[in-house]
Structure 1
C-alpha cells in the first residue's frame, strides 16, 4: 500500500499534514515561552474523549432496551417484542444442567432493526468470513434472547422459533441467512447448524394483518444469545482500502467510527482497525467498493456529553476521509440524524 498515492477528500487538520508541520516547528517551541509563565497561573486543560464513558453508554443502551417476559416453563408460549419480533417456546424447553425446570421463567429479548440502534448499542453489521476477512452485512434484524430463573441462566432443551417483525413483500430478501454473535470480538459469523445449535435455514411466511398482507422471516435456535438475520453485502466492482483521519487526541480507545452504506438502511460496519503509524481508523482487507456513496459516522463521549461527526462521501481509490471536529448532540437527536441518512 502506497499512502502517497491515496486520494484525500479533505486536508484540513489532516494528521498527514500536521505531522509535517510539527516536525518543522517542534524545535522552535521547546523553550520559547517557558520564562514567561507565571508560576501562579493554572494550566487549562481541554476536555478529553472518554472511552470508558462511551463504552458505558453502549452498554446502558443495550440494558435499557432489554425487554422481559414471564412464561410458565411447563407450557412454554410466545413472547412478542415492542417492534414485532416473536419467539415461540415449546413446553418443557427451559433447562438447567440438562433437566427441565418448572414454574415461571423470565425471558429477555433485545431487538434491533435500524442503523441508529445498531450504532448506539455497538452492534454493527460487520461479518467475519471463514478465512478471517471482514465485510459488511445487510441485516433484517438482530436479536438477543436469554432466559433466567432466579439467579440461574437457563438453557434451551428444545428448539425455539424466532419470527421477525412484519416485512413488506417489496422489501423481502430471499438471500437472508442466520448469523450468530461472536462474543470474542463482536463480529457476526454464519451459523453452523451442527456447531451452533441453530437452524441456519430461513423460512419466509405470508401473513394477513389489519393493514393487509405481509411476510416474516422465521428460523429456529437451539441456544440462547445473539443471532442476526443477514446476507453479505455483495459488490462485484473494484474495491479499495479506506482510512479515516480523525482529530488529534482521538483513537480506537476513546472513540468509534462507523461506515454507513447509502441506499442500505441496515448496512453499518464499524471501522474497528487502528493504524498506529498513521494514527487513522481503517478497515481490514481493502474491501470497500469504489464508487459507493457512504456516510462516515464518528462518536465520542466528552465531558459527559455525546459528540458526533457525520460526513457523506463517494469512495475513491485509496480513500482518506478527514474529520476535523466533533459537535455535541443529544442521543435522540443523533438517532434521528442516523436513521434519516439515505
Structure 2
C-alpha cells in the first residue's frame, strides 16, 4: 500500500496505530507491562455497541414512516403521501394468484427524499450494474409500495403509476432512471437491504427512464418525475454517479469496539443532496471498513457518517475530508445524540 499517499487523521484510538504499537510491544520487554493490562471487571461494565438494537432502530423507523391508505379494488384510485408522492392504481389491478379481488385494500407507502431519511432507514444509494460492478447513485426519491387485504399480500395485476413530489426546474435531472432492490422475492419487503438494480418494469429488455412532467401550482411552475411499476416493493429514481477522473479505494478506521456487526458507516458526497453510499465491507484482517468498488473520485469532498446504538442511546460521528489516493480516514470516538438532532445535522451537510 502506498503509505506516502495515505490520509491519516485523528489517530487517537486508531486501530492502525494500535496495531503498530502491538507489533512494537511484541518485540520489546516492557517493565511496566503488567500495569497496562486492562481490568476485565472494568471492560465488562463498559457499555458496548449493540448491533441488534441498531438494526431494530432502522426497522422501527421504516415502520414509523409507513403510511396506509384504503382503496376500493374494483375502482382503483390515487393515494398521496405526506411528502407529496402520488401513486395511481388502475381498476381491478389488485389480485391474489393472478385473479382480481374485490372490496377494500390497504395500500402502504414509504417516501425517502433526503440523506437523513436514507441513514435512519438504512437505505443508501449503492447500485449494482449488470456485470456485478457496484457504484454510488444519485437519487431523486426512494419508495416502498405494497398492498394487503387483511392478512393477504396482494399482487399488482396492472401497471401502477408513480409521481414524485414537485421538483423545482433548477433541480431537475433528465438522466434519472428506475431502479429496484434485488432480483428475487427476498428483496421486496419493507426490511429489504439489497442493493439497487436497473429496472425493466415493462419487460422490453431496456432500463426504464423516468419521465418529466411540467405542472402549475399555487407557488408557480414546477415539474415531477413519473414512472410505472409492475410489482410491489422498493423502487428508486436514480442515475449512476459517473466520474471520469482518477479514483481510489477508501478505508475507515473506527474505534476498537466497533465492527461490521454493531455499527453502520456511510459516505456522503458533498454537493449531492441524495448521494449516500454505505461502507458495507469490513476487512477483518485490517479491521477497517471499506466498499465494494474502489471508485471514489480523488479530490472529492465528502463526509463520513457513523452511527451506533450504545446502552439504548444513539451515538454518531460526522467527519469531513477530501479524498486522496488510497485514503484512510480515522474516526476516534462517537458522541451521544437524539435521532431528530442527527437528522438535522445530516440534512445540513453540504
Partner of 1:326: 334
The root-mean-square deviation of aligned C-alpha atoms, in Å, is 2.3
Partner of 1:308: 316
Q: Does 1:189 align with 2:197?
A: yes
Partner of 1:216: 224
Q: Is the 8 A contact 2:201 2:229 kept in 1?
A: no
Measured after TM superposition, the shift of residue 132 of structure 1 is: 1.3
Q: Is the 8 A contact 2:202 2:230 kept in 1?
A: no
Aligned length: 338
In 2 relative to 1, CA 217–57 (structure 1 residues): closer, same or farther, beyond 3 Å? same
SS at match of 2:45: coil
Q: Is the 8 A contact 2:76 2:91 kept in 1?
A: yes
Alignment of 1:30-45 (within 5 A): 32=34, 45=45
Partner of 1:91: 91
1:255 to 263, 266, 282: 263
Please give the alpha-carbon distance, in whole angstroms, between the structure 2 residues aligned to 1:177 and 1:250: 36
1:71-100 C-alpha deviation (Å, 9 max, x unpaired): 000000000000000000000000011111
1:219-251 C-alpha deviation (Å, 9 max, x unpaired): 001100000000001111100000000000101
Partner of 2:121: 121
In 2 relative to 1, CA 42–341 (structure 1 residues): closer, same or farther, beyond 3 Å? closer
Please give the alpha-carbon distance, in whole angstroms, between the structure 2 residues aligned to 1:279 and 1:313: 20
Q: Does 1:166 align with 2:174?
A: no
Partner of 1:231: 239
SS at match of 2:108: strand
Q: Is the 8 A contact 2:14 2:256 kept in 1?
A: no
In 2 relative to 1, CA 185–68 (structure 1 residues): closer, same or farther, beyond 3 Å? closer
Please give the alpha-carbon distance, in whole angstroms, between the structure 2 residues aligned to 1:290 and 1:124: 21
Please give the alpha-carbon distance, in whole angstroms, between the structure 2 residues aligned to 1:242 and 1:5: 15
Measured after TM superposition, the shift of residue 12 of structure 1 is: 2.8
In 2 relative to 1, CA 274–211 (structure 1 residues): closer, same or farther, beyond 3 Å? same
Partner of 1:299: 307
Q: Is the 8 A contact 2:125 2:137 kept in 1?
A: yes
Measured after TM superposition, the shift of residue 193 of structure 1 is: 3.4
- TM-score w.r.t. length of structure 1: 0.93
Q: Is the 8 A contact 2:123 2:193 kept in 1?
A: no
- TM-score w.r.t. length of structure 2: 0.91
Alignment of 1:34-183 (within 5 A): 45-182=45-182, 183=187
Q: Is the 8 A contact 2:198 2:207 kept in 1?
A: no
Measured after TM superposition, the shift of residue 45 of structure 1 is: 2.1
Measured after TM superposition, the shift of residue 194 of structure 1 is: 5.5
Alignment of 1:8-27 (within 5 A): 8-10=7-9, 11-25=11-25
Structure 2 unaligned segments of length 5 or more: list them. none
Q: Does 1:242 align with 2:250?
A: yes
Q: Which runs of 4+ in 1 moved over 4 A?
A: 26-31, 41-44, 194-199
Structure 1 unaligned segments of length 5 or more: list them. none
In 2 relative to 1, CA 43–92 (structure 1 residues): closer, same or farther, beyond 3 Å? closer
SS at match of 1:32: helix
Measured after TM superposition, the shift of residue 131 of structure 1 is: 1.5
Q: Is the 8 A contact 1:113 1:141 kept in 2?
A: yes
